[in-house]
Structure 1
Amino acid sequence: MPDFQGSGTAEDPWVLNTPPGGSQYQVHRDETAEPPALVCQVGTTKLSYQLRCIDDLHAMLKAYGDWMPLGNADEQKPAAPGTVEAWARADDNPVGGWYGLRKGYRGRFANYVPPVLEALGLVELEHNARNNRMRAL
């Protein structure tokens, strides 16, 4: 399990690192949002994803049964097929499209959500300089 701080609330957010370890960011659950959100604060930028992404991503990885590349990409760039990022945008995922809630900032799912699952003990996540992968535990 990685070293991280916080309890995941707005008052005490998780303090996590991106998979390559180059950037630190804060994350908390906002269950009062509509829909409930996972809010990521990256410097002055706020990104948010549907909170259900934690359970949905874990279930998908368990069903997949192997390592899956992250494939991190901005919203304006296509996600490589067969990656976590592509799944988070796919029409056939459990929400029928983007998990990202803020237009223009819906990408980078594979950069900010996997460390949350790792902190929760749900996945194993690689921490290489590039081309990281994850798998369900």
Structure 2
Amino acid sequence: MSAEQGTKQHPWQLKTPPGTSAYEMYKDEKDGKEIIVCTVGKTVLHYDYRCIADLHDMLKQHGDWIELGSADEQKPAKEGTVEAWARSSENPIAGWYGLKKGFRGRFGMYVPPLMEALGLAEVEHNPRNNRMRAL
């Protein structure tokens, strides 16, 4: 990863854990808050930038593999997954890391590959039911 990667001009080029879809992410600011902009085709999602450090801390405390459990906002997240943690009132921000109403889900699909690219986590790349753990 180059030092300038992760900007709007040089976004991280990523693939979903199964490797089936390409997307890009970059760090930006909106309303005075650091965010991650995730562009998947024509869909744009926003995640609170703190999710990177917070997820890494949670993974280190968990100490083992944890299922990703990606789900759309409108669908319930499977308990004990990264997706459920990213929506939980028990996480460090006490709620959703996804910031765009209607598009707050899919955390477990799009954030783990960024964590892997940043050297913070190991992510499985199976057709389904992938897991991750801290490095």
Counterpart of 2:63 in structure 1 is 65
TM superposition shift of 1:92 = 0.8
Q: Structure 2: where are the runs of 5+ without partners? A: none
1:68-123 deviation line (CA, Å, top 9, x unaligned)? 00000000000000000000000010000000000000000000000000000000
> 2:19 & 2:128 partners in 1: Cα distance?
10
- What letter corresponds to residue 129 of structure 2 in structure 1? N
Counterpart of 1:47 in structure 2 is 45
Q: Structure 1: where are the runs of 5+ without partners? A: none
Distance 1:25 1:33, change over 3 A: farther
Q: 1:122 aligns with which of 120, 123, 128?
A: 120
Counterpart of 1:132 in structure 2 is 130
Q: Which moved more, 1:24-33 or 1:94-103?
A: 24-33
Does residue 107 of structure 2 align to residue 109 of structure 1? yes
Pairs aligned (count): 133
> 1:62 & 1:84 partners in 2: Cα distance?
13
After the TM superposition, which parts of structure 1 deviate over 4 Å for at least 4 consecutive aligned residues?
Answer: none
Q: 2:95 aligns with which of 94, 97, 100?
A: 97
> 1:88 & 1:136 partners in 2: Cα distance?
16
Counterpart of 1:21 in structure 2 is 19
> 1:45 & 1:32 partners in 2: Cα distance?
17
TM-score (norm 1): 0.94
- What letter corresponds to residue 44 of structure 2 in structure 1? K
Percent identity, aligned pairs only, is 62
TM superposition shift of 1:31 = 3.7
> 1:105 & 1:88 partners in 2: Cα distance?
13
Q: Which moved more, 1:77-86 or 1:31-40?
A: 31-40
TM superposition shift of 1:35 = 2.0
> 2:32 & 2:45 partners in 1: Cα distance?
15
Does residue 73 of structure 2 align to residue 75 of structure 1? yes
TM-score (norm 2): 0.95
TM superposition shift of 1:33 = 4.6
- What letter corresponds to residue 66 of structure 1 in structure 2? D
Task: Give me the CA root mean square deviation.
Answer: 1.3
